[in-house]
Structures are given as structure tokens and as C-alpha cells.
Amino acid sequence: MVENNLKKNLNFVNENREFLLKEHNNKFIIVFEEKLVGSYDSYERAAEEGVRLYGLDANFLVYHLIAL
Amino acid sequence: MINTYRYGGSDKVEKDGKKSIVQILPSVVLNQMGAFIKVTITHPRIVQENFKEQGKSTPTVSVNALIDTGASGTVITPHVADQLRLIQTGFQKVSSVQDEQQRSVYYGFIIFPWGSGKEIPIVSCPLKNFDCLIGRDVLLHWHFTYNGPDGSVVICD
């Protein structure tokens, strides 16, 4: 379920990659329910904001737009 | 903070029907095992606050972590990620000599033996011998010395 929702969010990024790159180059974006929520300078900042907005059970994607 | 780790160990051997314990040189342990430290993996502080509000305790696990200059990012095994129920925030393409795979990325908090820690994205991937790899995302904050003949490492964080 989590994986599926995250994959939908990832598809949203891939489909809109060109536009997102132009607007948010080298930023960490949050995508929730296939919508862009925010853009941040670091992974930590984005993930923290995702938890703040949606709590622990939401499936928000954080995406960086640029021994076995 | 300067931290020195000198490795050492012992092994059971049997000779002429007699069992005895022999010491293994630090240089041999470091050579055979690689540089590793015990770390605690848990949830980032903001997630811990959420747990607290719900009256739940935050799960944590202690694991041996190999310091791996060949890994660009920090890695845990899927077992550790499941055990902690870490929040998955996405995916990462992971490349080894053999192949390339898309693996899950989690929002995690790695705490070092000297008390400081880093809240970072952690990739989940099956590993041999260790449950965690400390990658260059952490090493970029350290001054790290590997002393092969002495069997010790020094970490300045």
C-alpha cells in the first residue's frame, strides 16, 4: 500500500519532471497524493515538514530534483 | 570529538584434543572484519515526538555498522527497516558491480557511540555480515584514520 502510493507520487514527478526541474532545480520536493506540496533545501527539512503535515501514516514522497 | 577504536578478539581452538582460547591480533581483526562501530538506528526526533503524543515508545535497534568508503549513502537491511517501522519517503537506484536496483529509502536517525547522530535518508538493501553500512553521506562530516598495522581507527566527528 505504502509502496503503491509512493510509486504513484513518483510517477507524478516523472510525468512533470521538466516543469518541476525548471521551477525547483536542486530542491527536495514533497509530493502527496500526486500533488506538489512544497520545495526545500535539504532532505531533512523536507522529511521533517512531511511528518509535520501528514503524521506518521501518510505516504508522502521526498524527491531530490536534479559488503553486499 | 575524537574517538579511537582498537579491535581485538579471541577464538576457540582445539589442538591434540585440548581446547584453548587464543587471542587474535587487532591488526588481524581489522583486516578481516573491516572498520566497524556499534550504532543505534531509530526514528528522527520529530517522529519520536509523534510517538510520544500517541503514548507509544519509539523503537530503536543497536547494530554493528561497517564504515564503507565505497558506499555513497548509509544503508540498513530490510529487516532493520521493518523492525523499526521507519517512514518510507521514496526510492533510490542502487548500483553494485553486479546490477542496478531500485530500493526503498527511509527517514532515519543514526546515533554514534559518542552520542551525536544524523537524521538522514537511509537506503534499505540486503547485506552480508553487517546490518548497516556507514556511507560517505556521514563520512563527509568526519576525519577518519585507518591504522592497519595497529588494528585501530580514529574518528573525529
**Pairwise CB contact (< 8 Å): B47 & A51:** yes
What value does the mean pLDDT take over residues B85-97? 87
How many other C-beta atoms lie within 10 A of the C-beta of residue A24?
16
Cell readout for A33 is: 497524493
Strands of B47-142 (E only): list them. Answer: 61-67, 75-76, 87-95, 100-111, 117-124, 132-134
Sign of the four-CA dihedral B131, B94, B113, A51: negative
| pLDDT beyond 70 at A1 | no
| pLDDT beyond 60 at B80 | yes
- Sort out which chain A residues have CB atoms less than 8 A from B96's CB and list them: 68
In this prediction, residue B120 carries a pLDDT of 96
- Chain A interface, best mutation among B89, B103, B105, B110, by max A CB count within 10 A: B89
Distances (CA, A) of B74 to A23, A32, B81, B131, B138: 29, 25, 13, 11, 7
* 3-class DSSP state of A60: coil
Are β-strands B75-76 and B87-95 bridged in parallel, bridged antiparallel, or unpaired? unpaired
What value does the mean pLDDT take over residues B15-26? 85
Q: Which residues contact A9 (CB under 8 A, 6 or more apart)?
A: A31, A32, A33, A34, A59, A60, A61, A63
